[in-house]
Structure 1
Amino acid sequence: MPRQFEIGLVWHSVRSGNLGVGALSVGNIALARRAAERAGLTPKFTVIGPREPGPIYISGPDISAREITGRYMASPGGYWADLGHLDYVLDIGAGDSFADIYPDKRFAYIMATKAMAIARGVPMILSPQTIGPFSRQPHSAAAAWACTRAEAVFARDPLSMAALAKLAPHAKAFQAVDVAFALPFERRPKSSGKPRIGINVSGLLFSGGYTGKNEFGIEVDYAALTRGLVAALLARGDVEVMLFGHVNSPLPNDDDGVAVDALAREFPGATKVAPFTSPSEAKSFISGLDFVVGARMHATIAAYSSGVPVVPVSYSRKFEGLFGGLGYDWMVPVRGLTTDAAIAYVLNAYERRAKLAADIARGSAIVEAGLETYVAELARCFAAAAARK
């Protein structure tokens, strides 16, 4: 009978309203399960992530959850005790939080989970994620130390791989792809009538960012871009426009539903899609669309990985890094297009959606190779750890 193997999934979530974090969590569980079974092991998962509201959508007899709080991290009976029961830690840094661009308190928590696993002697892999940017001390030195002490570090795009090589040249580094490409879903049929165009609305960008002052530095006026696209598409009369979100947040300026509701009131000819209850439900819906434009990265990954032509609207290098690594250049960049030019670009991409679909099909081999790189190394590391016990 295969031996039970305890895996801690750090900075994952069983209930995040940000369905991108949920997609990472579901995808990484699927890939870690595949790797464990390849190594002849029966996995059991402890999902360790921040305290969040909302219903649980990841559960099972072999899945338990812990919430990261100050008390949990400081108590001898909290994270430290949980580490003692684990055979391996997979730390995904919530996808893009392993960087020094966020408040120091956030970085301290991101580092503490890694430092304590290292101190406890539990082997740790940094699962595919954005690495950096790092430009401050002691943040850079601390991050480099964690990368060097990890059993392996996986960058999810070429830009992150380059950042990792500069940050920690002696780390055991691999380039893979975002684990959300492995998110399971049920494929939906395409419309038998008008083509359905999905507009994934980012409440964060619609509000002008967390500060309302466009701290991301995007050149387009995102709210005007979105309104212009909806108006132009509705004016055609030959498509159905579907407005949907991918982040349900208690913060009004980050909640996609607030922006979707505002646009639905302004454009009654568009169809408002009810908030999704899980990342797989969202991806299943997206799979039935004919074209997507989106500003939440994992909504665009859901489109790409289900073969739907998609134009991401970028607000950070994680977009350019991820899709550039797939040879997929269809994107509204952070800088380089005016709002009117971006609207024209997206409308032209819709007309050329067969070309986008062909480019996605060509990139699928890169995705599969990246996922296999990750699974193969996980299987090797899991088997080695089990043999040492």
Structure 2
Amino acid sequence: MRIGLMGFDFMSSNKGCEALTYSFIEMLIRLANGNTLEIDNYTYNESLGELSYKYPLIKFRYCKINLKNLKFLKEAYRNIKRCHIFFDATFGDGFSDIYGKKWNLKTDTIKQLVLITGTPLVLLPQTYGPYESKFLEKWAIHIIKNATAVYSRDALSAQFIKEICGYDVNVATDMAFTLPFNRSLYSIQDKKIKVGINISSLLWAGKWAEENRFGLTVDYVKYHRLLMDLLLEKGSYSIYIIPHVIDLNNFNVEENDYRVCKQIQNEYGDRVVNAPAFSDPIEAKSYIANMDVFIGSRMHATIGAISSGVATIPFSYSRKFEGLYGNLQYPYVLSAKKIETDDALRTTMKWIENKENLKIAGIISTSLATKILKNFEIEIKEIMKL
């Protein structure tokens, strides 16, 4: 069976995007049940990275997107038409112009091309909207209405689609809940309460932070500095600074969490522990699984934490957090667009002190996510007619 993919990162500094890819490929292997899989990955990356070598029984094709090249468009049309089915995840939250209109145009163009070929297009669980551009919103409506199947990863996105086009979509959850991990990959000997803090470089410094592009009411840097100082002052906590976007080749780029983590370590010295530069999302989740408490601004980092049994406090800068966790009945989300810095700090400390309640709630939510994804997998199997 030949399958087309778009909106999946095989090689990315963002371990959350990679987590979606690993999780979905694992699902395809289960569904194939021993049958041969051929996967065409449409991407802007320079290669398929190391992931393709980890699955030697799958025949991968690297399809570099070049929308300005007529030859590419003709070849893409022919190859997509040969695919049995085409799956799109738009990197989990890219079905929106929140990260820029140009980027949204690029991803929607490939989806439109799939529709033109007549190959079934399945929009996998992801966040839909919001939109500033009415043109892009109308284009999104067109794609959604003409797709073979549409899945949202939360009820808020499903409601958004219902409001803009009157279309009912299937509500699932984020596929990364099923990402495997191995806690024993890391031996962390620490008698104190281990608190993992995941910093987002986009919220810490740079143009997006300076312009407060996400409309935070919490002072992001002040909140984290106060939190770390307070935890260290108490003496019963160890702080682990954990990146989830890691770019060693382009260290100074704005998107690199690892750069900010190094800055924090330089400032705090041996009072904090800097996590290693993970090479893949399984390593990241395996390390996070050793924490007692995890506070994260990268959503897939928090998914890795909660699904490995860690008491988790998602720091929400977007409605995708409330949508995802609300759908799973998990109440311990810090809504950083609705509260002030001092309130955020007090709430965080209260939740850390009651970490067992968070852990129990997380186990219940993860169980619900697992059940939802099992049903989702059954539906995808039916769509693929395997």
Query: Structure 1 residue 211: deviation in Å?
Result: 5.6
Counterpart of 1:197 in structure 2 is 195
Alignment map for 1:217-256 (pairs within 5 Å): 217-249=215-247, 250=250, 252-256=253-257
Q: 1:75 to 1:377 in 2, by over 3 A?
A: same
Q: 1:69 to 1:214 in 2, by over 3 A?
A: same
Cα separation, 2, equivalents of 1:35 and 1:94:
22
Alignment map for 1:69-84 (pairs within 5 Å): 69-71=66-68, 75-76=72-73, 78-84=75-81
Cα separation, 2, equivalents of 1:42 and 1:261:
44
Alignment deviations for residues 113-140 of structure 1 (CA, whole Å, 9 cap, x no partner): 1111111111110011001113533222
Counterpart of 1:216 in structure 2 is 214
Q: 1:296 to 1:102 in 2, by over 3 A?
A: closer
Alignment map for 1:122-133 (pairs within 5 Å): 122-133=119-130
RMSD value, Cα: 2.1
Query: Structure 1 residue 54: deviation in Å?
Result: 10
Query: Structure 1 residue 316: deviation in Å?
Result: 0.5
Q: TM-score, normalised by structure 2?
A: 0.91
1:7/1:43 contact within 8 Å kept: yes
Query: Structure 1 residue 340: deviation in Å?
Result: 2.1
- 1:33 and 2:29 equivalent? yes
Counterpart of 1:97 in structure 2 is 94
Q: 1:372 to 1:202 in 2, by over 3 A?
A: same
Alignment deviations for residues 35-93 of structure 1 (CA, whole Å, 9 cap, x no partner): 333xx844322222222589534532313332323356752454223313311100011
Structure 1 residue identity aligned to 2:220: Y
Name the SS for the 2:334 alignment partner.
coil
Counterpart of 1:168 in structure 2 is 165
Cα separation, 2, equivalents of 1:200 and 1:382:
37
Q: 1:238 to 1:102 in 2, by over 3 A?
A: closer
Gaps of 5+ in 1: none
Query: Structure 1 residue 177: deviation in Å?
Result: 0.4
Figure out how many residues of one structure are paired with residues of the other and give that number: 377
The worse-fitting range, judged by mean Cα deviation, of 320-329 and 72-81 is 72-81
The worse-fitting range, judged by mean Cα deviation, of 231-240 and 263-272 is 231-240
Gaps of 5+ in 2: none
Q: 1:223 to 1:178 in 2, by over 3 A?
A: same
Q: Which of 133, 138, 142 is residue 141 of structure 1 equivalent to?
A: 138
Counterpart of 2:312 in structure 1 is 310
Cα separation, 2, equivalents of 1:233 and 1:210:
28
Query: Structure 1 residue 230: deviation in Å?
Result: 1.3
Q: 1:227 to 1:330 in 2, by over 3 A?
A: same
Alignment deviations for residues 281-338 of structure 1 (CA, whole Å, 9 cap, x no partner): 0001011111101101110000011110110111110011111111111122123322
Query: Structure 1 residue 97: deviation in Å?
Result: 1.0
Q: Which has the higher helix share?
A: 2
Cα separation, 2, equivalents of 1:128 and 1:108:
20
Alignment map for 1:1-389 (pairs within 5 Å): 5-37=1-33, 41-51=35-45, 56-59=50-53, 60-61=55-56, 62=58, 63-71=60-68, 75-76=72-73, 78-170=75-167, 173-188=169-184, 191=189, 193-207=191-205, 210=208, 212-249=210-247, 250=250, 252-268=253-269, 269-383=271-385
1:312/1:331 contact within 8 Å kept: yes
1:72/1:79 contact within 8 Å kept: no
Query: Structure 1 residue 225: deviation in Å?
Result: 1.0
1:26/1:58 contact within 8 Å kept: no
1:210/1:254 contact within 8 Å kept: no
Cα separation, 2, equivalents of 1:185 and 1:49:
26
Name the SS for the 1:90 alignment partner.
strand
Name the SS for the 1:263 alignment partner.
helix
Structure 1 residue identity aligned to 2:147: A
Cα separation, 2, equivalents of 1:23 and 1:318:
17
Alignment deviations for residues 235-265 of structure 1 (CA, whole Å, 9 cap, x no partner): 2222221111001244632210121111111
Segments ≥4 residues shifted beyond 4 Å: 52-55, 71-74, 189-192
Name the SS for the 2:366 alignment partner.
helix
Query: Structure 1 residue 266: deviation in Å?
Result: 1.2
